[in-house]
Amino acid sequence: MQTVTLNNGVEMPILGFGVYQIPPEQTEQAVTDALAAGYRLLDTAAAYRNEEAVGRAIESSGIPREDLFITTKLWIQDPGEDNTMRAFDTSLRKLGLDYLDLYLMHQPFGDVYSEWRAMQDLYHQGRVKAIGVSNFYPDRLVDLIDNNDVTPAVNQIETHPFFQRTADQEIMRERGVQIESWGPFAEGKNNLFTHPDLSEIAGTHGKSVPQVVLRWLIQREVVVIPKSVRPDRMTQNIDVFDFELADDQMARIATMDTGGSLFFDHRDPAMVSRLGRLRVND
């Protein structure tokens, strides 16, 4: 598996398995199948409500802990340093782990600075190998970096052919932050799976459109965590290291960028309020 090196020297697989929107009752089997297919990076979150199922799959896999890279995320209902520590402990207990490889702040809202101070403490204590953020636009990311001791190792953001985030990625590169994609297939929006340009490129390589999208992200040095509950698609999604997109194909995909989210805008006041009202640990 190809890896990227984070700003603290930690090696992170460039391709992993995400469990967003997989129901808890299906998650254990999905993660079991993903691990059998060769995935070693697993991405979950307190807000997904399936950390326990991920933990059961990890425990039953028999894979040595040091061979896995486990990410989970802090939800914004847990403001303050003490609450952040408790939220971390809860996630760790549900996952059945002694440490995390990556702990992310899930949203750029709420008591961000006290939460980050606590996350820095967790990092310095060795309870997590790297800390980062999710859904941070460049202005919020730079502000967090400039006013704290530890620079986020990762920023996980919506990234796919229709919202490519190239300018965001350049700022992250300048600041030593690794970009990670969520929603790499845009959940099929804009007819991604049958898009003529992607389909033609896929035919050239004897690959599928999802494989082309994943390869495009990997060649951009974007960490990506596709999701599926089907073992055949899991196997297909990880089979992207035996071909390479040509420069003209990369450029062709670049023309698909709309420059905007296909899901929701984290700068929309109504969305900020909606996310702030979502409770995870009631």
Q: How many CB atoms lie within 10 A of CB 10?
A: 17
Q: How many CB atoms lie within 10 A of CB 279?
A: 9
3-state helix, strand, coil in the chain (%, to 5): 45, 15, 40
Supply the angle between the helices 231-238 and 209-219 in degrees, to the nearest 10: 40
Catalytic residue, chosen from 39, 48, 103, 123, is: 48
3-state secondary structure of 214: helix
What is the four-CA torsion angle of 249, 253, 254, 256, rounded to 10 degrees? 150
Task: Name the residue among 178, 186, 172, 102 with its Cα closest to residue 140.
Answer: 172
Q: Are 12 and 4 in contact (CB under 8 A)?
A: yes
Distance in angstroms (rounded) separating the CA atoms of residues 161 and 256: 6
Distance in angstroms (rounded) separating the CA atoms of residues 57 and 28: 5
Tokens of 219: 């060649």
Q: Are 155 and 165 in contact (CB under 8 A)?
A: no
Q: What are phi and psi of 200, to 5 degrees?
A: -65, -40
Active site residue 137: no
3-state secondary structure of 30: helix
Task: Name the residue among 15, 9, 44, 3 with its Cα closest to residue 153.
Answer: 9
Active-site positions? 48
